[in-house]
Chains A and B, each alone.
Chain A
């Protein structure tokens, strides 16, 4: 799995140094300007969130704030019900992600190392799940949740979330597990370890990089999921961040600074996590997709 983690340094090291400097400055300036433009919506969001509404209205969205305040955040936090939606999203994350990664790793192990019968057919069926839009399943999922009595409950989301996470997780994990040398597994077997112990003590530890990557990507996807949460959760007490944000957006449509603060409250955790974990995210996306 050479593509799992791409080192930043492996970039055209062969070019002559003098040429590198000369070409570097022009490209760097242009790219920096484009990057500034790209990030400007988020920068504007921050600037707007820390100024009073009156200041925003009298000076316009592109001006520098005359005064600064954090009141927008407290207003947004209270009115937007964020304490509840944060809690719900976190609960869902904790219940769903470890379980999803674990069962995916088990299936990946069966496909990669246990010579499961019909392995190719299973893989084909599971990978096909990558292409299925969520909305083809929402009516039956809604019916199933209603008959199980788990509408308007976080529990009702776990099954569908697991199912839609499995294809990508299995795709990445099985290609990683496949790289584990058979000799290592064979040695453990000769030592008397059964399939289950080999999985727990050999395969999982050796797959740690892929597991971390898949875990993070699955956490991001779970945190951001909208459609299932929209149809299954009704009461404010059970809403997740994306659905809560949508409600909030409706209520705050005339309060630009409050809206900016609310959007930031919703996205800051994911931005912080992404900044610190981007190495894993980038590696995982590349690994899952670069096998043409």
Chain B
């Protein structure tokens, strides 16, 4: 107490650790330790129930390479990542630019576009499962109403459309987030730039490419990073909407991991699947984490 000049240059010592400890303990006990523990289980043949297990080294990883469902799940994850990142980011940017312009009722419109994002994913799955219902769903009813009876089909019940149908639901709920971030970022671009450009005779499109897009560069980075991170976590929506089916048509790594652990009693194999996708997710998002740390580090 009473030595502020020294404190400024020195570390906070035990007091600082006392403040940090509760959160760090919980974080390590329930996130870091389980994640590392999964890495260990992935080298075993544990079934998830018995007391014992054997260490099988990289056996599970070798099995994964030969598992056609893993291949399908990996491809689905990739498609899912590309589509549910690109479409919401582009659409969210378009919405933000329009909402930032001369449109009326902006708070209300913004409210509507972000609404799906606050719903439990299970309820989003229920809502879309209900819309896709082959017989009584609104989507087929709408197609029939405009004479497109031939397009009415069991959207979630056939291989060719099931994955696409789940991604439509994901797009519905994920457009709002990039829109919000871009709206905030747009307000940091000086209106003077647009005014000067207008005086110089630049059209709206030119202004978008030469003022708006460069001005949004930091936002692009954050939006895309967070969207990619989010896309790797896909589980709830697929599980509740299609249960990975029909067959294995909509399996992703998260659901296939779950089925192996809790349905087929292959905890070792399941955790190996989880390890692979987690490693990919971390590798992709390390630049983002690093930038966040650099931003704040003293």
Contact = CB atoms under 8 A, between A and B. Distances in A.
B250 interface: no
A91 interface: no
B238 to A, nearest CB: 12
Contacts, number: 350
Interface in B1-59: 1-2, 4, 7, 10-13, 15-17, 19-20, 22-24, 26-27, 29-35, 37-38, 41, 48
Contact of B112 (A15, A35, A111): A35
Contacts of B2: 189-190
Interface in A108-125: 109-112, 114-117, 119-120, 122-125
A278 B19 contact: no
Contact of B26 (A114, A159, A175, A249): A159
Interface in A139-167: 139-144, 159-160, 162-164, 166-167
A38 B270 CA distance: 37
B148 interface: no
Nearest to A14: B191
Interface string A129-147: 1111111111111111000
A140 B281 contact: no
Contacts of B29: 159, 163
A140 B33 CA distance: 8
Chain B residues touching A, majority SS: helix
B79 interface: no
A274 B32 CA distance: 32
B194 interface: yes
B203 interface: no
A135 B274 contact: yes
Interface stretch (B65-73, B157-165, B282-290): B282-290
Given A119-B298, A266-B120, A290-B218, 13 more contacts: A12-B101, A19-B102, A107-B19, A114-B12, A116-B11, A137-B30, A139-B34, A226-B121, A242-B122, A263-B130, A286-B180, A286-B184, A290-B219
Interface of A: 3, 6, 8, 10-15, 19-21, 23-24, 27-28, 30-32, 34-35, 38-39, 41-42, 44-45, 56-57, 60-62, 103-104, 106-107, 109-112, 114-117, 119-120, 122-144, 159-160, 162-164, 166-167, 170-171, 174-175, 178, 186, 189-190, 192, 194-195, 199, 220, 223-224, 226-227, 230-231, 241-243, 245-246, 249, 256, 259-260, 263, 266-267, 270-271, 274-275, 278, 281-282, 285-286, 289-292
Interface of B: 1-2, 4, 7, 10-13, 15-17, 19-20, 22-24, 26-27, 29-35, 37-38, 41, 48, 95, 98-116, 118-123, 125-131, 133, 136-138, 141-142, 145, 172, 175, 177, 180-181, 183-185, 187, 191-192, 194-195, 218-219, 221-223, 226, 229, 232-233, 235-236, 239-240, 254, 257-258, 261-262, 267, 270-271, 274-275, 277-278, 281-282, 285, 288-293, 295-298
